[in-house]
Amino acid sequence: MELVRLGKTELMVTRIGFGALPIQSVDRESAAKVIRYAYDQGINFFDTARAYTTSESDLGRALGDLDDKEIIVASKARYKDMEQLEEDFNTSLDNLQRSYLDLFQFHLVNYEHELEEIVKKGGPLEFLKGEIKKGRLRHIGITSHRSGTMLKALETDIFETIQIPFNYIENEPLEKLLPLARSKDVGIIVMKPMAGGVFSSNPLAIRWVLEHPDLVPIPGMCRVEEVDEDLKALDAPLGANELAKLEADKQEFGTVFCRRCDYCMPCPNDIEASFIVRSKMYFKRSGWDKMKQNHIDIFTKGLSCNQCGTCESKCPYELPLTDMVIEESKAMLQKAVELDMLTEEQRQEKLNTAEIEEK
């Protein structure tokens, strides 16, 4: 597979990398199989995080027999305090079964005060620079969902890579962020190239990102078929018809939609908020016949949301979840009636019960 230079890191990574967030959702044996399959198909760049539960150890199990130089591995951790960072860094190395990491990123730095904490004198950067001196780390990067914070991060001239959401819908970085990153020769890793599943064709969505020859999309993969599907982007055409399809998806879902990151979870009341707010998109893409009784139970539970705001405060995209959870639950129960999975009386009863409990 074609390689691309990841900015000033000089790392030569494959045109498409492996986003290892969703791998935690399958069993461990399948996870190792998918990762190895991706490697066998030519992918050499794997991006994981301490926060992705089993993801790092899945990568270690699947690829630990390779020489460290054969693949390029990036992990990341949220910065809480120095002790925690040191522990996270050591755990990443152990889990990934490596003597060094190619890239360690400060994870999800969405606010300027978090950035200030990271770059302050005597702060966590000094620890990571120490790891570079020891040969246990090669490069330092940063990830964020907010262009404004990333612009500030670039101004520090500290980070060698940035990782940002970028796709046909979320293309705001085209204006300022990408030009600034390029002018500083910072490597650009693209998360959410498929905008969390909004697009009707994954290869097409990734293809649009690949049109920018220096960007490295890392679509999340957890099935062998997904690896094959995503790699089709390498030679998918992108003419007027394909652009019209992307535009149609954009028009259908707008900009207020769930990206499947699950940072909003868990809900203190055990409501599956993230699934509820993306359920319409999910069933439209995968087929309404996938809706089952257990989903109706999830939407029914969604009606009991007390609008505490916990999920909303954690959503990096600032989705209005306190309203969306109830509204989407109601809409999906209405859909269940249309699909003859629920009678109108049963739906009404569920709404009435929720109202009584609220009072």
Which residues sit at the interface with ligand SF4, rule CB under 6 A? 258-264, 267-269, 271, 273-274, 277, 305-311, 315, 317, 319, 321-322, 325
Least separation, in Å, of the C-beta of 324 and ligand SF4? Answer: 8
Q: Give how far the C-alpha of residue 44 lies from the chain's centroid of Cα atoms, to the nearest Å.
A: 19
**Closest CB to ligand SF4 among 247 and 318?**
318
**Closest CB to ligand SF4 among 72 and 271?**
271
**Closest CB to ligand SF4 among 49 and 273?**
273
Least separation, in Å, of the C-beta of 328 and ligand SF4? Answer: 10
DSSP state letter for 245: H
Residue 342 CB contacts under 8 Å (≥ 6 apart), including other chains: 296, 333, 336
For residue 220, CA distances in Å to 55, 140, 184 come to: 11, 22, 27
Least separation, in Å, of the C-beta of 166 and ligand SF4? Answer: 15
**Closest CB to ligand SF4 among 51 and 264?**
264
Cα 238 from Cα 227, distance rounded (Å): 20
Cα 345 from Cα 355, distance rounded (Å): 15
Least separation, in Å, of the C-beta of 176 and ligand SF4? Answer: 23
Least separation, in Å, of the C-beta of 1 and ligand SF4? Answer: 30
CB of 49 closer than 8 Å to CB of 77:
yes
Asked whether the CA dihedral 30, 34, 39, 43 is positive or negative, the reply is negative
Cα 44 from Cα 35, distance rounded (Å): 11
CB of 48 closer than 8 Å to CB of 18:
no
Least separation, in Å, of the C-beta of 196 and ligand SF4? Answer: 7
**Closest CB to ligand SF4 among 40 and 270?**
270
**Closest CB to ligand SF4 among 41 and 310?**
310
